[in-house]
Structure 1
Amino acid sequence: MPRKKSTETKIYVLDTNILLHEPLAFLSFKENDVVVPMTVLEELDYIKDSKKDVARDARVSIRSMEDLLHNATPEDMLAGVSMEGLGAGENKPTGSLSIFADLNMVESQQVFTSNENDNRIINVALHLQKTYAPQQVVLVTKDLNMRLKAKGAGLAHVEDYRTDQLITDIKYLSKGFHKFEGNFWEKVKSVESRSEGRDTIHTLPRNIMEDPYINEFLLDDSKHFAGIIEGITSDTLEVLDLGYERLMSRHAWGITPKNIGQAMALHSLLDPHIDLCILTGPAGSGKTLLALAAALEMVVEKNMYDKIIVTRSTPEIAESIGFLPGTEEEKMAPWLAAITDSLEVLHKHDENAKSSMNYIMEKANIQFKSVNFMRGRSIQNSIVILDESQNLTAAQLKTIITRCGEGTKLICSGNLAQIDSNYLSAVTSGLTYLVERFKNFSGSSTINLDGVVRSRLAEFAEQEL
């Protein structure tokens, strides 16, 4: 247990899911002390050898704590080992890390008597709260039910882990465009325009909007103006005039946009200067169809890339892919049915749709790959479509993005309302990280597709259910 009893610092008790979400989370509490119950180490030990997608995170966390505690005596581990000198940046830890042997707690110290892991961790926090009063003891967990149980059992302070959250609420997530009320040109006090070939570029005052970023689309309600920010200085914005009607008339592989969101997405997808295109939005908004149509256009028609690699991750892949028959691509087929469905839509009017699909898959060199086998690769001159990316952590997405070599374009799509992972929420998803971290990168573009165009049934379900 921590040595200090200063009321100026806090004692943070970490749940297992915090260390699975961010393996080095124990270094994020600055001058405060961190307690890891023995039950948490037991759970990490069980998970590290499992086939779960968080097994690697468990191993990293165990290894990191061992690096800090390997020279400590049993007494030091209980009392706390200083974390000074670890971490990076302004928030380097100065508190201590200790292991609490909650397996030895006597029944008189316990509120919960059932031997469930969550109950044992809550008992630790309650025991420390009683022992170290008035010093604040905080249980940190991502488990909502555990937070309710802890509060109900008398724990005064229970928190989610927010150190890693770039936004506090998903409503603040960048949409990739800014819409002005009324007519755009009525908002502009001064403008300088110039022509570069067929393009018109406007130099506008930066203060026409708050927090502009590169490759952000600008629209107005009157449907007269559409542009994209191509340069930012301390006082001005360089805006490429796209033209509302011209933007809506773009097409790829026989597909034309049904709304302005799809038009902006198609513009970014077909732009060879954009290396990372992020598409977010509800089910049925056209993310996968647009990505595939643009990819086929650039690979088959324009010959800009050599092949299309389609990959996605679901929590079950790591466990069940091995039991399906066939090659890796045949094993992946059930998970990538969304892609084959979209291919069918793109070729449904052909005389022999099945033959057309087979021909195009061969012509475009479409390959289905599992995210599990992406590590260590270097992908050159390809289009990579990463579907259902809302289920990936920031670390997993980094693994995939760093595979992209020269001349490769990555398209990430996902719906933050459909997260299947037990360890992620909309604000901690890797897709959210990607949107916020890359919004000021000139080689990336984000578009939030907010209209459901799949069918009126799907649109009604999205709105009412």
Structure 2
Amino acid sequence: MAPDEKKVYILDTNILLHEPLAIYSFDEHDVLIPMTVLEELDNIKDRRSDISRDARAAIRALDEVFKNTSPEEITAGVPLPSTDLEGNRGHISIFADHEIKGELAHVPGSEADNKIINAALHLQKEKAPTKVVLVTKDINMRLKAKGAGLRHVEDYRTDQLVDDIRYLAKGYQEVEGRLWDKVGKVESETQGRDTVQTIAAGVLENLYTNEYILDDSHEFAGRVLSHGDKEVKLLDLGFDRLMAQHAWGISPKNIYQGLALHALMDPSLDLVMLTGPAGSGKTLLAMAAALELVIERGLYDKVIVTRNTPEIAESIGFLPGTEEEKMLPWLAAITDTLEVLHGSDAHPSGSLQYIMDKANIQFKSVNFMRGRSIQNAIVLIDESQNLTASQLKTILTRCGEGTKMICSGNLAQIDSNYLSPVTSGLTYIVERFKDFPGSANVYLDGVVRSRLASFAEENL
């Protein structure tokens, strides 16, 4: 490649923690790892936290590349495996950024971020006209690097599937007017209690499997069973039937909750993703459906509830009790929901404990889900907007036969320093699974918690 086409990507520590195999994601361009990054990985790998596993995985990946090389080769650059059909490949090297001191250092201070920025500024000058790019998920570091004079600073976007959260799939398509006014020939077929409508392709655009279809007239509500070049098969659900659903005494308050409850109660769907603002009913519907499916219908044996714990509490060891007791503070939303579902009972506290035992509700930390194989259970991942794509992959791959996964989250309430709505693991799986026959996604539009919550969501 010509020097003006070749790029050198300098990776920050958080990139390797976010994706331990990120070194293979830069095609034919070169990758450079500052020595400071290796020191940070070394300090993290022995922590008793989930992130330490990613640090060790990144170190093993680097060791695999450099294990049979000399110090001179490591400094000059070792070829990476080819990433395209033409055999083009970049190189990876380690840069001793500790040598950049005194007058060579553009950004004063001994902080790790400053050392990495100084290395990038030094290489920008040394390797011109080759483009040197610092890749970091730390927003403040990107600002500091640009302010110090680094021309090219980027976020890691290899696992980013949408550029704007407004374009994220909602799980349903709303048709203006009456659907049947837009349709010519319709073939209706009865399959047991269900009616399947077959219409010509082209009437509805950009369809994907299990997407719900609504029209303004409230005459038609359905779900896409299949779509092809010639025809589209729709499962006719009907507005009234959706709004008349019940799960553990809960009925939908709007049509979006009706769609969500339909997806939750369908045992043929292995994965249901619920997104939407705070107070839209995500957790309440998920728990009501879980209790109905486990206790009343007996389709599953237990309910496993999990969520990501804040970084300061990743080990959850400082709290007393068993794992379930340790997780209770982080899963208060679930216990609050159970109280709402049984608030009208004569003895709510007794009912709550009885239901938790009857449904075999287990509270687990995401950090301890690795290595498990979950069979015949409903797994509810609450606050999943705070999980990375790799963390969600870890949980999804734990699911065995007869397991239903429910991921709920509000992309406007991300607590992680390194995640944004477009890089959240929830966004990633919504896009990845949107055309998977065994999954459905519903954006719950509208706050039903209270008029105070609704006003706060819209105006704050």
What's the TM-score once normalised by structure 1's chain length?
Answer: 0.95
CA contact (8 A) 2:19 2:390 kept: no
Match of 2:186 among 178, 182, 191: 191
Give the superposition deviation at 1:187: 2.2
Instruction: Give the number of aligned pairs.
Output: 460
**Bigger Cα displacement from structure 2, 57-66 vs 45-54:** 45-54
Aligned partner of 1:211 in structure 2 is 206
> Which residue of structure 1 aligns with residue 265 of structure 2?
270
Q: Does the Cα contact within 8 Å between 1:31 and 1:93 map onto a contact in 2?
A: yes
Residue 345 of structure 1, aligned match among 335, 340, 353 = 340
Give the 3-state SS of the residue equivalent to 2:407 in structure 1: strand
Q: Which residue of 2 aligns with 1:290?
A: 285
Deviation at 1:182, TM superposition (A): 1.7
Cα displacement string for residues 60-119 of structure 1 (whole angstroms, at most 9, x for unaligned residues): 11111111112222111111111134x6x7698701101110101242322112222111
Matched, 1:439 2:434: yes
Compare 412-421 and 211-220 and name the one that shifted more. 412-421
Distance in 1 separating the partners of 2:88 and 2:293: 49
Q: Distance in 2 between matches of 1:27 and 1:91?
A: 16
For each residue in 1:370-392, what CA deviation from the matched residue of structure 2 results, as whole angstroms up to 9, or x when unmatched?
22222222222211111111111
Q: What does 1:373-392 align with in structure 2 at a 5 Å threshold?
A: 373-392=368-387
Q: What are the equivalent positions in structure 2 for 1:361-372 lying under 5 Å apart?
A: 361-372=356-367
1:112 & 1:399 partners in 2: Cα distance?
Answer: 39
Whether the 8 Å contact between 2:278 and 2:410 is mirrored in structure 1 is yes
Looking at structure 1, the residues matched to 394 and 304 of structure 2 have their Cα atoms a distance apart, in angstroms, of 16
Q: 1:172-251 maps to which residues of 2 (within 5 A)?
A: 172-251=167-246
Cα offset, 1:16, TM superposition? 1.2
Q: Report 1:36-435 matches (<5 A).
A: 36-85=33-82, 94-316=89-311, 318-319=313-314, 321-435=316-430
| 1:10 is the counterpart of 2:46 | no
**What is the deviation of 1:17?**
1.3
Q: Which digits, 9 at most, give the CA deviation of each residue in 1:283-338, with x for residues without a partner?
A: 11111110111111111111221221212222247545212122221111111111
Distance 1:419 1:341 in 2: 21
Question: What residue in structure 1 maps to residue 18 of structure 2?
Answer: 21
TM-score, L = length of structure 2: 0.96
Return the letter of the residue paired with 2:35. M
CA distance in 2, matches of 1:39, 1:70: 20
Contact 1:299 1:307 in 2 (8 A): yes
- Change in Cα spacing, 1:106 to 1:385, as seen in structure 2 (3 Å) is closer
Q: CA, structure 1 residues 36+249, in 2 after alignment: closer, same or farther (shift >3 Å)?
A: same
Equivalent residues of 2:49, 2:315 under 8 A apart: no
SS in 2 for 1:72: coil
Q: Distance in 1 between matches of 2:364 and 2:449?
A: 26
For residues 288 and 306 of structure 1, the distance between their equivalents in structure 2, rounded to whole angstroms, comes to: 20
Cα RMSD over matched residues? 1.8
Aligned: 1:462 with 2:443: no
Q: Which amino acid aligns with 2:212?
A: F
Identity of aligned residues (%): 65
From the superposition, tell whether residues 153 and 211 of structure 1 become closer, same or farther in structure 2 (CA, over 3 Å).
Answer: same
Seen in structure 2, the aligned counterparts of structure 1 residues 90 and 381 have a Cα distance that, compared at 3 Å, is farther
**Conserved? CA contact 2:48–2:315, under 8 Å:** no
Q: Is contact 2:383–2:409 with CA below 8 Å preserved after alignment?
A: yes
Whichever residue aligns with residue 184 of structure 1, its letter is: L
In terms of mean alpha carbon deviation, does 358-367 or 311-320 score higher?
A: 311-320
Deviation (angstroms), 1:404: 1.6
User: Does structure 2 conserve the Cα–Cα contact (< 8 Å) formed by 1:83 and 1:93?
Assistant: no
How far apart are 1:208 and its partner, in Å? 2.1
Conservation of the 8 A alpha-carbon contact between 2:50 and 2:367: no
Give, in angstroms, the shift of residue 211 of structure 1. Answer: 2.1
For the structure 1 residues 399 and 77, does the alpha-carbon distance in structure 2 shift closer, same or farther, using more than 3 Å as the test? same
Tell me if structure 2 keeps the 8 A contact 1:10–1:137: yes
